[in-house]
Structure 1
Amino acid sequence: MSIPDFQTIMRPILESVHDGVAIPLSALREHIADVFQLSEIERKERLPSGRQTVMNNRVGWARTYLNKAGLLTIPSKGMVQITARGREALANGPERLTVTWLKQFPEFADFHTAKPQMVDVLEGLEAEVPEITPDEQLAEAHQALLQSLADEILTQVRAATPVFFEQLVVDLMLAMGYGGSRREAGRATQATNDDGIDGIIKEDKLGLDVIYLQAKRWTHTVHRPEIDKFIGALTRQRARKGVFITTSEFSVGAREAALGLDIKVVLIDGVELARLMVENNLGVSVKQVYEVKQMDSDYFGEE
């Protein structure tokens, strides 16, 4: 069974505490995971931030929404207890509690209502309540922005000159921690391009090993013969590591050619190139920073 969305979790949470006895949030999380028969992999699946499991996040938000609607109370730190309104919801509420249904309670409506500046945007729209938590909505929006940025960067890189692309490759390797100093890294593009090698760059600042580079600012697919030629060049140089970077894509045969070798060959296509540029802040700048905060439980802990 897949991980349920946070609205689907709401009623099972109320059922878990129907007897009125307060239980720890940790026990509630385990119980809900058992109710939905989640596998170990599903129980351990994390949000994109990596800071919390998806299941814990969804149980936490379901508890928050039920608490804001007055169906649950939090009698003490980390505890959960049903209220009289919660029992009424179990007796007469729908089989699946939703955010829309919770809006009948004024306290929840005040908590969940859009701010005044959003009224004009939402007026006349019957907005569908998302099935994911606010944390997941934020993560998805962030990923969408990154993908859009990566697409824009790739378009720009493909339109750049070959000289600019050579410098970009060096800058990317530097940004990822390779190449030693910029002066030394700059020599990477001064290779003669003989024998199928475009450049050489240090793997670390001490120069204990080197990486051979091949960079192709192409729009058409890179096929196996190009990879075989690069591998042959590495073999003749007695090299152990090579990176083939292109602005296009690799065929299945090309990727298969880079596998199962004594030589380590990494293939970076246009999509991966753009992602690495964004990840390593190359060719991008910070537009806006949003801080997502959470309560510091230690501050409120009383001995």
Structure 2
Amino acid sequence: MRETMPNFDEFNALTLKFMGDGVARHVSQIKDEVMQLANLSPEVLAETQPSGELRVRDRIAWACSNLFLAGLLDRPSRAVYQISETGKQLLPEVGEQLGEKEFAPLPKWQKYLAERSQKQKGKGVGKAAPTLPDERETENTVLEIVQRLNRGLADDLLQRLREGSPEFFERAVIRVLRGMGYGGTGEGSNVEALRRESHTGRSGDGGIDGIIKLDALGVQNIYIQAKRYKQGNTIGRPELQGFVGALHGKRVARGVFITTSHYTAEAKAYAEGEAQDRLVLIDGVQLANLMLSYGVGVQPKQTLTLLEIDEDFFE
């Protein structure tokens, strides 16, 4: 079982070999079958693109497109591919990889590159045209830019949390948990209700900074410890043991420890060992990402809608 993602040239070769039987197949079927042939580990199969699409399926789609542009696959109908006569002739020579070097002599590939180069010149772009379909490349580039901007925003969120008061931070983490669905929705979603029902934040609270219902009915409660630490100040095992002790004293089964900083290796080992199933740790990076995911402390700046052909509509 392979533990690394095959590169584009490897998927080109694997896809052409799979299509060598001459059967016409829909691209979705090709993705399913070639995924199996690649014999990838569950971890590799689970890798995703910025768009959320599985990376392996995206690369197989690229392979179909590349092979079609090179004239090695025909497309008898929309999203359906079949090996061409040129593909059949080249097939016996295909090894583990099939890429630009092998495509270069093929007339259809040369025509494709010439057309792309002409389009680029028409747009005033002086560099050579890319050798892969730029629609997918552009989409992933845009999504990666959005992710990079959001990473910067996450850093700003953490800084704001560190600069706020301890009480504000405690209420903020409760908002995040409620945004994730804990405690249900409705009145408890507004700030005043959070202060009244969920925020403790008082001296002598036994290490408990907040309480939130595990479900809308309030059958079980989750106790929260929130530490607003500066970058570099880490949470160690003693702090976690103190919190678990407070949970035990209140006969509570579960707790969430949240910080704007990080946890030491010993603290993580304790949470994953002795305190397993009783304690969940959320560090600063995770907290900021949760705030972005659930819209806590942020708002949309601009919404872009990326459209694509609905293949089912045309079948």
Could you tell me how far 1:248 is from its partner in structure 2? 0.7
The 3 A distance-change label for structure 1 pair 114 and 247 is farther
Query: Are residues 1:279 and 2:288 paired?
Result: no
CA distance in 2 between counterparts of 1:33 and 1:178 reads 37
Identify the residue that residue 105 of structure 1 maps to in structure 2.
Answer: 110
Could you tell me how far 1:31 is from its partner in structure 2? 6.2
Could you tell me how far 1:217 is from its partner in structure 2? 0.6
Could you tell me how far 1:274 is from its partner in structure 2? 0.6
**Which whole-Å deviations, capped at 9, do the CAs of 1:48-81 have from their partners, x for residues lacking one?**
5797543332222211232234332112455423
Contact 1:65-1:108 within 8 A present in 2 as well: no
CA distance in 2 between counterparts of 1:43 and 1:268 reads 26
Query: Are residues 1:173 and 2:177 paired?
Result: yes
Equivalent positions of 1:263-278 (< 5 A) are 264-278=278-292
CA distance in 2 between counterparts of 1:168 and 1:274 reads 11
The 3 A distance-change label for structure 1 pair 108 and 71 is farther
Structure 1-normalised TM-score? 0.77
Could you tell me how far 1:251 is from its partner in structure 2? 0.9
Could you tell me how far 1:264 is from its partner in structure 2? 1.6
Could you tell me how far 1:270 is from its partner in structure 2? 0.7
The 3 A distance-change label for structure 1 pair 41 and 269 is closer
CA distance in 2 between counterparts of 1:265 and 1:196 reads 14
Q: Name the amino acid aligned to 1:198.
A: D
Identify the residue that residue 68 of structure 1 maps to in structure 2.
Answer: 69
SS in 2 for 1:196: coil
**Which whole-Å deviations, capped at 9, do the CAs of 1:218-240 have from their partners, x for residues lacking one?**
12111111111111111111112
Query: Are residues 1:155 and 2:159 paired?
Result: yes
- Aligned residues between the structures: 295
Give the stretch that moved more between structures: 172-181 or 24-33.
Answer: 24-33
Contact 1:71-1:86 within 8 A present in 2 as well: yes
Could you tell me how far 1:172 is from its partner in structure 2? 1.5
Equivalent positions of 1:6-155 (< 5 A) are 6-17=8-19, 21-25=22-26, 28-29=30-31, 32-33=34-35, 36=38, 38-39=39-40, 41=42, 44-45=45-46, 47-48=48-49, 53-76=54-77, 79-86=80-87, 96-98=98-100, 101=104, 105-110=110-115, 119=124, 123=126, 134=137, 140-155=144-159
**Which whole-Å deviations, capped at 9, do the CAs of 1:141-175 have from their partners, x for residues lacking one?**
45434333322322232222323212312322221
SS in 1 for 2:302: coil
SS in 1 for 2:305: coil
Give the stretch that moved more between structures: 103-112 or 291-300.
Answer: 103-112
Query: Are residues 1:295 and 2:295 paired?
Result: no
**Which whole-Å deviations, capped at 9, do the CAs of 1:234-281 have from their partners, x for residues lacking one?**
111111221111111111222233333487221111111111101111
Could you tell me how far 1:89 is from its partner in structure 2? 6.0
The 3 A distance-change label for structure 1 pair 16 and 173 is closer
CA distance in 1 between counterparts of 2:67 and 2:131 reads 19
**Which whole-Å deviations, capped at 9, do the CAs of 1:71-100 have from their partners, x for residues lacking one?**
321124554233355467669999631399
The 3 A distance-change label for structure 1 pair 112 and 8 is farther
Contact 2:214-2:222 within 8 A present in 1 as well: yes
CA distance in 1 between counterparts of 2:19 and 2:162 reads 59
Equivalent positions of 1:250-261 (< 5 A) are 250-258=263-271, 259-261=273-275
Identify the residue that residue 4 of structure 1 maps to in structure 2.
Answer: 6
Identify the residue that residue 225 of structure 2 maps to in structure 1.
Answer: 214
Q: Name the amino acid aligned to 1:24.
A: R
SS in 1 for 2:234: coil
Give the stretch that moved more between structures: 49-58 or 210-219.
Answer: 49-58
Give the unaligned 5+ runs of structure 2.
Answer: none
Give the unaligned 5+ runs of structure 1.
Answer: none
Structure 2-normalised TM-score? 0.74
Q: Name the amino acid aligned to 1:208.
A: V
CA distance in 2 between counterparts of 1:152 and 1:124 reads 36
Contact 1:203-1:211 within 8 A present in 2 as well: yes
CA distance in 1 between counterparts of 2:212 and 2:36 reads 52
Contact 1:199-1:214 within 8 A present in 2 as well: yes
Contact 2:113-2:129 within 8 A present in 1 as well: no
Equivalent positions of 1:191-206 (< 5 A) are 191-194=201-204, 195-206=206-217
Give the stretch that moved more between structures: 94-103 or 210-219.
Answer: 94-103
CA distance in 2 between counterparts of 1:28 and 1:18 reads 12
Instruction: State the identity %.
Output: 32
Contact 1:224-1:254 within 8 A present in 2 as well: yes
